[in-house]
A = this chain, B = another copy of it.
Amino acid sequence: MFETAELGRKVDKATYAEELPKLRESLLEAQYELLERKRFALVILVNGVDGAGKGETVNLLSSWMDPRHVQSHASRDYSDEEKARPPLWRYWRDLPSKGKVGVFFGSWYTMPILRRAWGQIGDAELDQAMDELVRFERMLTREGVGVLKLWFHLSKKQQKKRFEELSADPSSSWRVTKQDWENHRNYDTFRPICERSLRRTSIAEAPWHLIEGADARYRSLTAGRLVHASMRARLDAPEEPAPFVTPVSESSREPGGKTLLETLDLSETVKKNHYDARLEELSGRLARLTRHKRFHKDHSVVAVFEGVDAAGKGGAIRRVTSALDARFYRVVPVAAPTDEERAQPYLWRFWRHVPPFGHLTIFDRSWYGRVLVERVEGFCRPADWQRAFREINDFEEQLRLHGTIVIKLWLHIDLDEQARRFDERASTGFKRHKITDEDWRNREKWPDYEVATHEMFERTSTELARWTLVPANDKRLARLKVLETFCERIAEAVER
């Protein structure tokens, strides 16, 4: 693979001087068009061998484009706020919004490759990490983020020459560190690992571009042209036709078909005095669990409350938060996205609230809106919600791998109970605002929601993050069940 980038390709001074102004003008033109049309965001990953001109290229690109709409990001150490969250969090934070360009010096590839080279992980783990990144990038491209991946290469000999040159010049000698020489000695270890990584992650949506790094003019011109071509192609591409999707499974409506929700026994109730005692007991347990040393050190909670309208999510959430230390939780009510959120992939608005260790984030409605309301109301294309199942599983897996406890609750009531509660709300002072005509109309779509919910459970109730179905016709029963679930899941993690 890398042999193709060891050919000694060069650009002479005259050609460079002639080509550069044209390239810069067309880069600027594409950039302004992107800014105006906001068709996508462009992420440029700058990776490769040390000494191959990565830093120089990042600087050049920023100076060729309008720096007001390009943001570069260093491959700095993780800050303590970043360390307390899954590794990809920092990239979600830094993701450019539509119309903008983000250049990542080093990237999500850096850590897995280093860890493999240091022997901390084996090939299987490396492959696993690479496949995760492929899915991540695929999701980004489908969500309107172009991903351009540049790999700057030098042969071992070229690298040595380059380091020696830099070291010899007092004005640049500081740029060659001990770590660089150390990496040079390990060149032959790195090479096959990098090849393996690139091979697995060069996908149609975001292939790697190898750039020979020895000649500065060649390398700069090539990188600039790739950036331009990538922007141009995305700007000029026709509206993508709706991708083929398999038809929605209607199995749950066929004779004998039953949805999971229909199997739920909604008749059970809990007596007041049992409720009071049990509520206190569970609250106490939850309070102790979330104050556990291990919870503060290695864990956090992301909880999702979903369910039919008026199922009592708000009340259940309050029973949970009452047991918590207010300084360590956050409840995020999911309403219409803000304009900053609309300029990003749909998961972005949830990633921004991922809690650090010791904290809990409770989502009142969540990313599951994609496969529920957006699906049923047709707010996104079938292909979009169909791919969301896998994307959501990936998101939750990242949380779990980091020690985050993922709790997903579906609060369920039947249509009669819902009607009763709507009427009740309409007549209660401060609850009046909670009920609108829209809510009544939504009831007509019940069968569609039932199919969507059934499929959601089927696809996203996983061994890492299973759904808990909560019968909620009886509010007391529901609240106890919610608290029990919180206690069980947190206990599994901290009382190992």
Contacts and interface: CB of A to CB of B under 8 A. Distances in A.
B326 A72 contact: yes
Interface string A319-356: 00110111111111100001110000000000000000
Interface in A243-293: none
A319 to B, nearest CB: 9
A18 interface: no
Contact of A63 (B61, B322, B328, B333): B322
Main secondary structure of the interface of A (DSSP, over half): helix
A364 B67 CA distance: 11
Interface stretch (A4-12, A73-81, A137-145, A397-405): A73-81
A36 B335 CA distance: 13
A429 interface: yes
A429 B30 CA distance: 12
Contact of A29 (B62, B332, B429): B429
Contact of A105 (B69, B79, B327, B429): B327
Interface string A105-117: 1000000000000
Contacts of A317: 67-68
A199 interface: no
A66 B362 CA distance: 13
Contact of A331 (B68, B103, B324): B68
A130 interface: no
Contacts of A73: 327
A2 interface: no
Contacts of A62: 321, 326
Contacts of A433: 32, 36
B68 A326 contact: no
A25 to B, nearest CB: 7
Contact of A58 (B327, B332, B333, B338): B327
Interface in A29-68: 29, 32, 36, 55, 58-59, 61-63, 66-68
A476 to B, nearest CB: 18
Contacts of A74: 327-328
A458 B328 CA distance: 46
Contacts of A55: 325, 327
Nearest to A174: B291
A122 interface: no
A318 interface: yes
Contact of A80 (B25, B67, B79, B328): B79
Interface of A: 25, 28-29, 32, 36, 55, 58-59, 61-63, 66-74, 76, 79-81, 103, 105, 314, 317-318, 321-322, 324-333, 338-340, 364, 429-430, 433
Closest 10 CB pairs of A and B: A74-B327, A72-B326, A62-B326, A68-B333, A63-B322, A67-B321, A29-B430, A68-B331, A67-B331, A59-B326
8 contacts: A36-B433, A55-B325, A59-B322, A59-B326, A79-B79, A103-B326, A338-B339, A340-B340
